[in-house]
């Protein structure tokens, strides 16, 4: 042990060490290497089955086309499927957000705090009796008891995977429409 330092000082020194040192760096590198080797092995396997077109095999384009034609899949059906997939992957979060907003989910309190920020607690939508001819108004009540006429909606946004899926669907639409 080092003299003149207590255990708390040792902990603070190790916390200031660079992130790349220690067993977590080696573990992370080994995990990334393993993932790379597995993906490369899968690509080699698909290559020798003919998926990428370099080798004649059961997954070559012609063989896949013949197999789909044998099942009764027409070009019109393939185009319809990929266009429907493209429309769904491009709009699923809009549909989810519309349903969530209509149901009153993903809402937080907009009450200003003393430091200039918002309360931000989850709210529940309540109906309050209106004063004019029996009209009902909507009131949002948060966990802290704030009652407001409006709340902040947090929409779900697409991430990298979602954008990748719709881009792949668009490429497949292009391939089926213009290259077949």
Write down the residue that tokens 């407001």 correspond to. 148
pLDDT value at residue 20 = 60
Write down the residue that tokens 């990334």 correspond to. 32
pLDDT value at residue 116 = 84
Q: pLDDT tens digit string along 105-124? A: 999 999 998 888 889 899 99
Q: Evaluate whether 142 touches 121 at the Cβ level (below 8 Å).
A: yes
Token pair belonging to 104 = 């009153």
Residues in CB range of 92: below 8 A, 6 or more apart: 162
Which residues of the chain carry a pLDDT beneath 50?
1-13
Measured CA to CA, the distance from residue 145 to residue 85 in angstroms comes to: 44
pLDDT value at residue 132 = 62
pLDDT value at residue 15 = 52
* Whole-model pTM over 0.75: no
Q: How far is CA 148 from the centre of its chain?
A: 31
């Amino acid at each position: 042990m080092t003299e003149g330092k207590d255990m708390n000082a040792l902990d603070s020194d190790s916390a200031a060490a660079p992130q790349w040192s220690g067993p977590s760096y080696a573990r992370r590198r080994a995990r990334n290497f393993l993932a790379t080797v597995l993906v490369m092995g899968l690509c080699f396997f698909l290559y020798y089955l003919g998926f990428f077109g370099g080798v004649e095999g059961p997954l070559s384009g012609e063989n896949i086309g013949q197999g789909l034609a044998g099942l009764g899949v027409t070009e019109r059906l393939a185009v319809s499927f990929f266009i429907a997939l493209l429309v769904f992957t491009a709009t699923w979060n809009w549909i989810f957000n519309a349903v969530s907003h209509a149901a009153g989910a993903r809402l937080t309190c907009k009450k200003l705090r003393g430091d200039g920020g918002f309360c931000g607690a989850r709210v529940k939508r309540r109906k309050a009796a209106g004063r004019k001819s029996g009209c009902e108004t909507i009131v949002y009540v948060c966990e802290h008891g704030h009652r407001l006429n409006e709340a902040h909606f947090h929409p779900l946004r697409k991430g990298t995977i979602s954008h990748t899926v719709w881009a792949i669907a668009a490429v497949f639409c292009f391939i089926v429409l213009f290259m077949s």
